[in-house]
Amino acid sequence: MGNTTEEEHFDVLTETGQKTGFSKARGLVHKDGDYHRAVHVWIFAESTQQLLLQQRAVCKDAWPGLWDISSAGHISAGDASLITASVTNNGNFINNEFDDVYLESEVSAVKYISIEEYKQAVVKEDPQYVPVNVDGQYGQLFDIINKRYQCDVEARSLDLQKKLNRYAPFSLSAELTGLTEGDKEALVLLIHAARMMDDIFHQQVWCSNPSLREWLKGRASMSQFDNLKWLYYSINKSPWSSLDENEAFLTTADSAIKLLPEATKPIGGWKGLEYKTAFPIQKPPGLSDDEKQDASGFFSVVRRHRDFLSNNIVSSASDLYSIPYSQEYSAFLAKTAELLHKAGDLTSSPSLKRLLHSKADAFLSNDYYDSDIAWIELDSKVDVTIGPYETYEDVLFGYKATFEAFVGVRDDKATDQVKLFGDHLQVLEQNLPLDAVYKSSEVISAPIRVVQLVYNSGDVKGPQTVAFNLPNDERIVNDRGTSMVMLKNEQRELVDFDSFFTHTICHECCHGIGPHTITLPNDQKSTVRLELQELHSALEEAKADIGLLPESLVKSMYVSFLAGCFRSVRFGLEEAHGKGQALQFNWLFEKGAFVLHPDETFSVDFDKIEDAVESLSRVILTTQAKGDKEAAQELLAKYCVMTNPLKVALEKLEMVQVPVDITPEFPIVDELLGKK
C-alpha cells in the first residue's frame, strides 16, 4: 500500500475469488475489468466507539476527496491479504493497536467519527463518503464490531474487577490533638504540596501519563468499564499493572483520541524504506565523559537533542544531555516551593521550619544536600518527607529518583521505644557475615521516627511501604548516615503486629549498614548503586531482609520470615521487594532450610536455617562490597524465578483471596481541607 515507482502487479482472480495463477499490472487489471483482491482495515477506538476515517487524496483515480474507511488498498501479486493489511492480531480483521502512522501522500486528512454516525452517512448515501453497500456482507461489519465491543467490554470489566479485588481499601487515621494551630495550618499546606508530587510522579513514569490521566478521569463516570479503568489506573499511576509484572491493562485505543495529537510528529532527516523502517541519518553519538557523571545522578532527566530538532541533525558532540529536575519540573516545583515556604513560616518547630525552607530552596536549585541533612535532623510533631527519593522506578540503571511525599504526625511514645535499634548500627555492622576488609568502622547511628501517616502521594503506588530508610544519596550516607521513618497508624487489632513491626525496624536498620561507598579492584571509589545499576534495588532489599536473621533468633521470627516471603513475592518478580524475597526463599529452600510437605504446607528446618541465612547474607554483602555486577546478575538470574514451591504457596493464597496490598484512604485529609 506504499508508494512505488514501478507499476504494481495484482493477482488475477476467478469470479469466485480463486487465484488464476496470472498477475497483471494495476492499470491493465482496471482497464480489462479483471477480478482482483483489495483489503480494508477498520481502526476502531473502543473507548469512544469511533472509527478512524481517511480522506482520499484529490489525485486518486477512484472517489477523489471522499471520506473512506481507515485504510484500504490493493493486494500486490503474491501477497496475502493479512500481510497487506498489516494486521497481525491473531488474524483478526480489526486491529486495535495504533503504531506510529506515517501518513501517505494518497491521504489528505484523517478524522474520528462515531461508528453510528458513519453508518448513517453511508446509509443515506452522503456524497462526502465513499459509497458502501450496508445491506450486503460489508455492512455486517457494523454489527460485528458492536458485538465484539460488547463482549470485549464485559471480559475486560471482569478482568479489571478481579485485578482491583487484590487491593483492600484501608482507612488511615491519625491523632492531631497534640498539634499547635500553626502546625495544623502548616499540615494543610503540606498536603497541597504533597499533591504536587503526584503530578510530577505521573510525568516521571511516562511522558504521556498526564494526558492519559486527564482522559481517564474525565470519562470515569461515563460507564462502569470507564470507572474500573480509572480506579485501576489510579492505583498503578500508569497503564501498567505493577502486580502483573507491569503488563499493560489498557490498550492504546483506550485513549487514542486524546493521545493522537502528541503521537504524531513530522520527522526530519528520516531515512529508510518508506513504511517499513525509519532510522536517523547519523548514528547517535554517545554521552561525553563530562556529562556521564551528571547523567548518572539522582536529580536529572536525560534527553536526546534529536527529539527536539525538526531536521534531526545534532550539532553538538553528543546527542544526549541532562536537564536538572528543577528545570524539567519547574512549574510544579515552583508552586510546591511556595507552599513549603508558607508552611515553614507557620510552624513553631525550628527543625521543621529549617526542613521546609531548605527543601523549598532545593526544589528550585536542584541541590538537595542541605535539605536532606535537615530531614535527617527533623525533630518535630509534624513529620514530612517530600522530594525525589526512591529509585525503584528507574529500571534501566536504578539511578533516577522519583518524587514522593509522606506527611504525618510523630508518635512520640513509639519513637522513644524504638530509639535503641538505630543507636547500635555499628555493632550490627561488626557482626555482619562479611570479610573484615569490607566492613566500615564509621557507621553513624540513625534516628528512627515513628509516624502516623496523614497523607501520601507521588511514588507510593505500591507495594505500600510501612517504613523507609533515607536518603539514598551516598554522599549523605557517608557524611551523616541515614534516618528511618516507621509508619504506624492505629493497627493494634492486627494479628502479631509487633513481630511485623520489629522485622520492619530490622529491615530498615540493615539498609543503614553494609557496603554503600566501595573501593573497586582498580582502587577507584564508587558506590554499590553505580556498579550494580538495575540489579541494585533487588539485592539491597534482600540484604535488608536477611541481614539481621543470622544471630540466632527466636523460632517464631523465622516462621514469620517464611510467611513474609510469600507476602512480598506477590508484589511480582519485576518489583525490587518481590525479587529480593524470591531470591531469599529459593536460596533457603535449596539449602533445605524451608521445606514443602506433601500436603502443600511449609515449615522451617531450624537445624539448617542459620547456616543458610548466613551463607546468603555473605554472598549478597560480598557482591555489593566488590560492586560485582556479573555475580549479581548470576545470583538474580538463578534465584529470582517462580519456582514450583513458590507457585504452590502463591496459588494457595490466591484461592483464599488474601489481598495483596492495601489502597490507603485518608478521611482526615477531607476533614482538614474542609471537605467532610
Ligand X SMILES: C[C@H](N)C(=O)N[C@@H](C)C(=O)Nc1ccc2ccccc2c1
Cα–Cα distance, 520 to 231 (Å, whole number): 47
User: By CB under 6 A, which span of 20-28, 300-308, 466-474, 633-641 interacts with ligand X?
Assistant: 466-474
Contact letters for ligand X, residues 415-454 (x by CB under 6 A): ----------------------------------------
* Cβ closest to ligand X, residue 206 vs residue 566: 566
| Span near ligand X by CB under 6 A; candidates 260-268, 301-309, 312-320, 467-475 | 467-475
Sequential DSSP letters for 4-49: -SSPPEEEEE-TTS-EEEEEEEHHHHHHHT-B--EEEE--EETTTT
Q: Out of 402, 452, 472, 586, which residue is the one contacting ligand X (CB under 6 A)? A: 472
Is omega for the bond preceding 127 within 30 degrees of 0, making it cis? no
Give the one residue of 340, 477, 544, 668 binding Mg ion; rule: CB under 5 A. Answer: 544
Is 94 or 548 the residue whose CB approaches ligand X more closely?
548
Q: Is the CB of 468 or the CB of 602 nearer to Mg ion?
A: 468
> Which x/- pattern over 59-78 shows residues binding ligand X (rule: CB under 6 A)?
--------------------
Residue 372 binds which of Mg ion, ligand X, none (CB < 5-8 A, kind-dependent): none
The 3-state DSSP class for residue 176 equals coil
Q: How far is the CB of 390 from ligand X (least distance, A)?
A: 6
Q: Is 390 a binder of ligand X (CB under 6 A)?
A: yes
Residue (of 591, 514, 590, 589) closest to 545 by Cα position? 514
DSSP assignments along 380-432, one per residue: -SEEEEEEE---TT-TTTS----EEEEEEEE-HHHHHHHHHHHHTHHHHHHTS
Q: Which is nearer to ligand X, 578 or 627 (CB)?
A: 578
CA distance linking residue 234 with residue 378, whole number of Å: 31
Q: Where in 501-520 is the site for ligand X (CB under 6 A)?
A: 504, 507, 511
**Cell numbers standing for residue 564:** 513474609
The verdict on 119 binding ligand X (CB under 6 A) reads no
The rounded distance, in Å, linking the Cα atoms of 253 and 97 is 6
As measured in angstroms, the least distance from the Cβ of 385 to ligand X is: 10
586 binds, among ligand X, Mg ion, none (CB under 5 to 8 A by kind): none
Contacting range for Mg ion; rule: CB under 5 A; set: 35-43, 96-104, 175-183, 543-551: 543-551
Q: How near is the Cβ of 341 to ligand X at its closest, in Å? A: 27
Work out which of 349, 415, 469, 617 binds ligand X, going by CB under 6 A: 469
Q: From the list ligand X, Mg ion, none, which binds 359 (C-beta under 5 to 8 Å, kind-based)?
A: none
Type of residue at 291: E
Q: What is the dihedral of CA 501, 507, 508, 511, to 10 degrees?
A: 180
Considering just the CA atoms, what is the radius of gyration of the chain in Å? 30
Q: Which residues of 451-484 are buried (b: 16+ CB within 10 A; e: fewer)?
A: bbbbbbbbbbbbbebbbbbbbbbbebbeebbbbb
Distance in Å, CB of 436 to ligand X, minimum: 25
By three-state DSSP, how is residue 97 classified? coil
Separation between Cα atoms, residue 504 and residue 380, nearest integer Å: 22
Residue 411 near ligand X by CB under 6 A: no
The window from 97-105, 334-342, 425-433, 464-472 that contacts ligand X (CB under 6 A) reads: 464-472
Residue 459 interacts, among ligand X, Mg ion, none and using kind-specific CB cut-offs from 5 to 8 Å, with none
**Contact flag: residue 466 with ligand X (CB under 6 A):** yes
Contact (Cβ atoms closer than 8 angstroms) between residue 302 and residue 294: no
Name the residue whose CB lies closest to Mg ion. 544
Q: Which residue is nearest to ligand X (CB)?
A: 468
Q: Pairing relation of β-strands 44-45 and 38-41?
A: unpaired
Our finding on whether 583 is near Mg ion (CB under 5 A) is: no
Q: Residue 472's binding partner, choosing from Mg ion, ligand X, none, with beta-carbon cut-off 5 to 8 A by kind?
A: ligand X
Cell of 84: 497487506
Euclidean distance between CA atoms 473 and 528, whole angstroms: 11
Q: Which of 54, 457, 568, 586 binds ligand X (CB under 6 A)?
A: 568
The strand pair at 107-114 and 71-74 is best described as unpaired
Q: How far is the CB of 511 from Mg ion (least distance, A)?
A: 6
Which among Mg ion, ligand X, none contacts residue 258 (Cβ within 5 to 8 A by kind)? none
545 binds, among Mg ion, ligand X, none (CB under 5 to 8 A by kind): ligand X
Q: Is 130 helix (H, G, I), strand (E, B) or coil?
A: coil
What is the contact surface with ligand X in residues (CB under 6 A)?
390, 465-470, 472, 504, 507, 511, 541, 545, 568, 577
In the complex, the residues that contact Mg ion under the rule CB under 5 A are 541, 544
